[in-house]
Each structure stands twice: as structure tokens, then as C-alpha cells.
Amino acid sequence: MDFMQFFNLILHVDKTLGLFIEHYGTLIYVILFAIVFCETGLIVLPFLPGDSLLFIAGTFCATGAINPWLLCVLLITAAVTGNTVNYWVGSLIGHKVFSHDYAWLDKQALHKTHAFYERHGGKTIILARFIPVVRTFAPFVAGFSDMTHRNFQFFNLIGATIWVILLVTSGYFLGAIPLLHDHLNSIVLIGVGAAVLPLIFGALWKFVRKLSKK
């Protein structure tokens, strides 16, 4: 698979996943594992399509093209190990991320995730699974915060299991409905928007309140 094929899969996962299954066969499990692992494990790749990929993969489970049990086990493993790698990277780099300018690091996303972590503590690892970008930065923040590795893995396993099973199962049942199947990308975007917009409005509200106090 070359870069353009991979990029096309990301942009049009609803249309291209079926073609990839036909072309690569059982290697699709490796491809899906790699995408979920990279999105959760590498903070330079927060744009990878985690939510949409799980949902649409679930629709192909309903057709028999993908084994749902094998898929869920592999993707839960990918999500857990990805987060673990991210946690260890965060623990190694530590708070230097706030005092150094790293070209590969989105400082704004990091600060937002850190604030989210301060409000919700360990639950952030579970809640962040359903919030794009925050999902990628949450384990990194936990790594240089006070969360022990044992507590992190507790929330990590729960969050990964809920995230994968909920989205794959939703795709499995909802994707079988013709009207919904024809608008998969729109449905995923609406779902992502429903998760992200409250955070955006919350941040804007705090910003407006700060300005009004000046």
C-alpha cells in the first residue's frame, strides 16, 4: 500500500474500505490494527479516522466481510497498546513539553487535553476515547501527570473496550439499514461533531467570561 492509497482510505473510508478488503483480504486486520494503534499511540497522528473507521468496519462485519469477534479483539489490543506507548512517551518527556517548542507537537491540543485531565482525572482516559484529538493526547498527558501505571491501565482497558465494542456494534446494526448505509460518512461526522462541539462551546464560554471580567 503506497501513501496515496493510505491517504485515500483515511479521506473516504466509507467507500474505500470495501475495496481494501477485496484487494488485501485478511491483511485488512493488520491495516486496521495499525491505524488504531497509530492514532492512539503517536501524538503526531491525531487526524487518523478512529471513530469512523470502527463504525464503518462494523458495517462490513454485518456483511460477513470481516469477523466481528476477531476485529474487536484486535482493535481493543491496538487501542490499549497504543495508549500504553503514548503513556510511556509522556512519562519520559515529562513537563518539558510545556517549556520546549517541539515542531511535531500541537501545543494548543496538549493544553486543552491537560485542562480536560485536570477536571476529570482518571476518567479522562475513558471519556477521551470518544473525543477526536483529545483521545490521542490523553495518555500522553497521563504519562507526565501523577497517574500511576496501574491506574492508567485500569482506565485504559475499560475505555478501549467500551469504545471499540460500542462503535463496531453500532456500525454492525445501523449500517444494515439502507438509508443509513448510503450516508455513513455524514453519520460519523455528526457523531464526531456531537462529541466535539460541547468542548468548543465550553472553551468559548470560558473565554467570553474571562474577557467580561477584564
The helix/strand/coil state of 2 is: coil
Q: Is the dihedral of CA 119, 150, 34, 93 positive or negative?
A: positive
Most confident range (mean pLDDT) of 31-45, 59-73, 99-113 is 59-73
Give the tens place of pLDDT for each residue, 13-28. 656 777 778 777 888 8
Q: What percent of the chain is modeled with pLDDT above 70?
A: 59
**d(C-alpha 129, C-alpha 192), whole Å:** 11
Q: Chain-wide mean pLDDT for the chain? A: 75
Span 188-204, pLDDT tens digits: 555 555 455 555 555 56
Q: Exposed, middle or buried by CB within 10 Å (0-12, 13-18, 19+), for 213?
A: exposed
Exposed e or buried b for every residue in 123-150, given b needs 16+ CB within 10 A?
Answer: ebbbbbbbbbbbbbbbbbbbbbbebeee
CB 191 within 8 A of CB 51: yes
The per-residue pLDDT for 188 is 56
Spatial separation of the C-alpha atoms in residues 112 and 186, rounded to whole Å: 26
Measured CA to CA in angstroms, residue 119 lies from 14, 28, 80, 83 at distances of 35, 38, 23, 20
Cα 83 versus chain centre, distance: 10
Q: Hey, what's the cell of 17?
A: 474500505
In this structure, the number of other CB atoms found within 10 A of the CB of residue 105 comes to 16
Q: How far apart are CA 3 and CA 173, in angstroms?
A: 32
8 pLDDT band (50/70/90 cuts)? low
Question: Between these two residues, 121 and 126, which has the higher pLDDT value?
Answer: 126
Q: How many other C-beta atoms are found inside a 10 Å radius of the C-beta of residue 214? A: 4
Mean pLDDT is lowest, of 34-38, 74-78, 140-144, 158-162, for 140-144
Decide if pLDDT at 151 tops 80. Answer: yes
Q: What phi-psi label fits residue 16: left (phi over 0), alpha (psi between -120 and 50 degrees) or beta?
A: alpha
Confidence band for 205, pLDDT divided at 50, 70 and 90: low
Rounded to 5 degrees, φ, ψ at 183 are -130, 45
| 3-state SS, residue 52 | helix
**10: nearest Cα among 45, 44, 59, 40:** 45
Quote the cell numbers at residue 130.
Answer: 470518544
Residue 33 predicted with pLDDT over 80: yes
Tens-digit pLDDT profile for residues 57-73: 888 888 888 899 999 99
Please give the Cα distance from 162 to 72 (Å, whole number).
10
Are 140 and 171 spatial neighbours (Cβ–Cβ below 8 Å)? no
